[in-house]
Amino acid sequence: GGGRVGRGVLPVRDSACPTVQQLQRMDHPSGGAVREPLLAARPRRPDSVFAPVVSETIQVAGRKIEVWNDECFKQLRQSHGIPDSFLNMHKEQSVDLKHARAESKLGKGGEQQYISRDAKFIIKSVSGADHKSLLLRAKAYVARLLTGNSLLVPIYLHFRDPSTNKVYIAMRNLTPEQVPWDEKYDLKGCADDKTLMRQGKVIEPVRRRFYRIDMWCRCAWTPERWTYYDGKVHARALRLEFPPQQRDEILRLVQQDADWLIAQGLMDYSLFVAIRRVDRNGGCTAAATPQVVRQFAMLDGEDVVFVTLGIIDFLQPWTAAKKVAKCIKSLEFNKATIPPPAYGARFKQHFAELLKVDERLRPLSLVTSGPEEGATMQRTSARASRVASQGVCC
């Protein structure tokens, strides 16, 4: 848990980002050089971690915090135009870490999520495994995002609240609440695919657990369970059509990110997809998302369609607990709990099939004047584009 992090270990004298070799050396019996490369396919999980340091420049809602690897994350904040005061703009009103956002219950892990007052950032509590995973991979992760060729959701801060000893990450909100969204999906390419929102309504998760005997008989399902199940069927059958250039760019990013995640020994991640439709005659303005968020625009008849994409929940390593879960779920078809190489290969294959090309479609350009400014559409070269989903029975 967060309260045990950093006890009895060597403290960091400054906030310089530790390398993978440094973290591995702490657990190496000889204390000598480690032969494994920076991007080893299976980086070893350290038994101890560097202690956090009190930040001299960052506060969260008016409170002092302890940070890890902030020299790394500061590079990403600066690259994306994020000031150190991004979670302290309104002092104690900037973030309320006592009241979680409603979307927290949409995830399986149960980690609480909080939203910044300006809705640009999500603060998420992290488990011990995810916390250590980010400690181990912070430098490689930031380097990946600084290339500008990634769908990984940006994480800007890894910190602990000393008053509660809880550990959090602060990341970009891909779908700010100031604008309505029509559809949201969490896609892994397996039986865990699900619809988060449909026709503007959030779909409450009603999961079938092995200890819920009533859930194993469809005759006992509630309307909420049927809605959730229908959303899963819909998500598995989802197909997205893009112009050739957009489809090729998205697929390239997905495949490159999946290769990086395989090399890092990570699995159980998802592609988050959000779709919003607006009247083309009612002012074609994109959501206030910066250029670091991947958003694609297209025309569908009289509507303009915006599609936002990002890879989320990518800190899960292949642990002993996951190996046990794989055995428990041995009878489950197309499960999420498989080793990173197999998970990544399936992820790439799934989106190669899900993303479709329509030669008739042409993209609309999103023009941004700065990292933190809203986007507007450029119509000059556009004709028509659309996003379609096809339902099939299963």
Mean predicted confidence (pLDDT) in 223-246: 94
Query: Count of residues for the chain?
Result: 394
Q: How confident is the model at residue 208 (pLDDT cuts 50, 70, 90)?
A: confident
Amino acid at 218: R
Give the per-residue pLDDT at 102: 78
Please report the domains of the chain, with CATH numbers, ordered by start residue.
50-173 (3.30.800.10), 178-193+238-367 (3.30.810.10)
Q: How confident is the model at residue 9 (pLDDT cuts 50, 70, 90)?
A: very low
Look at 257 and 191; give whichever has higher pLDDT: 257
Residues with Cβ within 8 Å of 386's Cβ and at least 6 positions away in sequence, in order, are 241, 298, 299, 300, 301, 305, 358, 361
Q: Tokens in use for 225? A: 């369970």
Give the per-residue pLDDT at 243: 86
Whole-Å CA distances, 12 to 73, 131, 275: 16, 17, 43
Q: CA-CA distance, 97 to 95, in Å (whole number)?
A: 6
Mean pLDDT of the chain: 80
Q: What angle do CA 245, 250, 252 make, to 5 degrees?
A: 95
Cβ 279 vs Cβ 302: under 8 Å: yes
Give the per-residue pLDDT at 210: 61
Look at 285 and 70; give whichever has higher pLDDT: 70
pLDDT cut 70: percent of the chain above it = 72
Give the per-residue pLDDT at 325: 67
Give the per-residue pLDDT at 151: 98
Mean predicted confidence (pLDDT) in 157-182: 93
Give the per-residue pLDDT at 190: 94
| Short-list 245, 370, 367, 257, CA closest to 310 | 257
Whole-Å CA distances, 44 to 8, 21, 137, 259: 20, 10, 11, 18
Beta-strand relationship, 365-368 and 355-357: unpaired
Look at 314 and 303; give whichever has higher pLDDT: 314
Give the per-residue pLDDT at 273: 98
Token look-up 């910190």 returns 159
Whether the pLDDT of residue 2 is over 50: the answer is no
Of the candidate ranges 202-216, 229-243, 376-390, the one whose mean pLDDT is the lowest? 376-390
Give the per-residue pLDDT at 297: 87
Give the per-residue pLDDT at 16: 55
Give the per-residue pLDDT at 217: 82
Q: CA-CA distance, 370 to 331, in Å (whole number)?
A: 50
**3 state DSSP class of 148:** coil
Token look-up 């489809």 returns 247
Q: Tokens in use for 143? A: 């380097």
Tell me the pTM: 0.80
Beta-strand relationship, 355-357 and 240-242: parallel
Mean predicted confidence (pLDDT) in 2-18: 44
Contacts 24+ apart (CB under 8 A), 247-252: 247/355, 247/356, 247/357, 250/151, 250/294, 250/296, 250/309, 250/351, 250/355, 251/351, 251/352, 251/355
Cα dihedral across residues 256, 262, 264, 270: positive or negative: positive
Q: How confident is the model at residue 22 (pLDDT cuts 50, 70, 90)?
A: low
Q: Tokens in use for 207? A: 């999961």
Beta-strand relationship, 155-161 and 294-300: unpaired
Longest dimension (CA), the chain: 68
Mean predicted confidence (pLDDT) in 147-158: 97
Q: What angle do CA 310, 284, 281 make, to 5 degrees?
A: 140
Give the per-residue pLDDT at 82: 96
- In the 8-state DSSP scheme, what is residue 137? H
